[in-house]
Amino acid sequence: MSRDDKNDETTLSPRAREQRERILAAAQHCFVKYGFHAASMANIAEAAAMSAGLIYRYFPNKSSIVLAIIERQSEMELEDIRALGASTDPVDALMECFVEWSRPRPDMRIMNAALFLETSAEATRDKQVANAIHHADELACTEFRQWLEKPAEEGGIGMSPAISERRSLALMLLVEGLAVRAARDPKLDTELLREALAEVVHKLMEE
């Protein structure tokens, strides 16, 4: 969370912000394609159409880029979850997630299954990543609970906190399992998946 003031988004010139964005997009592309470790700064530089040296004007080192990507990714996850709550049919929202995550070249979207899994694995080894992830997960979990507890008069289910605690966890397992599936079997029969999801999700939303 604590960023170098130099790169603090609030004090960045438009140009600098633009460049950072370009680099992050390139990095995201390369990380998806090769993985965090296998992607080289040269790969990223090429994808960003700039020299490798220039990247270091905007990021102090490679791992800060990784971290920035992880933070961005976490934000996307949160948005996904919010979309899930906002959608008429949560199953549709989940399916959309699956399809997007398993797309071979998700250029436009930060969230990507392989990245998500690698990030999760990295949390096991890198304290900084672990912290970033933990924070993101807390937000995600809260979001799930608020969704389940939203009163009926607001169009929600109005689940009791005692139950929502368990159910939100179950939902997280499901969503994260979806990410694993997206990576391991991107060609999974979507109809079958939809049915399976529909069943579980509905069971989980009953009081």
Partner DNA sequence: TATGAATGAGGCTTCATTCAT
Partner DNA sequence: TATGAATGAAGCCTCATTCAT
Residue 41 interacts with, from DNA, a second copy, none (CB under 5-8 Å by kind)? DNA
Q: Does 88 bind DNA (CB under 7 A)?
A: no
Q: Does 107 bind a second copy (CB under 8 A)?
A: no
Closest separation in Å from C-beta 184 to a second copy: 5
Q: Does 14 bind DNA (CB under 7 A)?
A: no
Residues in the interface with a second copy (CB under 8 A) total 49
Scored b (16 or more CB within 10 A) or e, 127-164 reads eebeebbeebbeebbebbbebbbbeeeeeebebeeeeb
Q: Does 54 bind DNA (CB under 7 A)?
A: yes
- Residue 25: CB atoms within 10 A of its CB come to 17
Q: Does 178 bind a second copy (CB under 8 A)?
A: yes
CA distance linking residue 119 with residue 19, whole number of Å: 24
Retrieve residue 177's tokens: 């399992």
Closest separation in Å from C-beta 144 to a second copy: 12
- Check: CB of residue 26 under 8 Å from CB of residue 67: no
Q: Does 37 bind a second copy (CB under 8 A)?
A: yes
Q: Which of 4, 10, 15, 161 binds DNA (CB under 7 A)?
A: 15
CA distance linking residue 100 with residue 179, whole number of Å: 10
**CA-only gyration radius of the chain, Å:** 19
Closest separation in Å from C-beta 123 to a second copy: 6
Residue 52 or 196 with smaller CB distance to DNA: 52
Residue 154 or 207 with smaller CB distance to a second copy: 207
Q: Does 103 bind a second copy (CB under 8 A)?
A: no
The gap between the terminal CA atoms of the chain, to the nearest Å, is 38
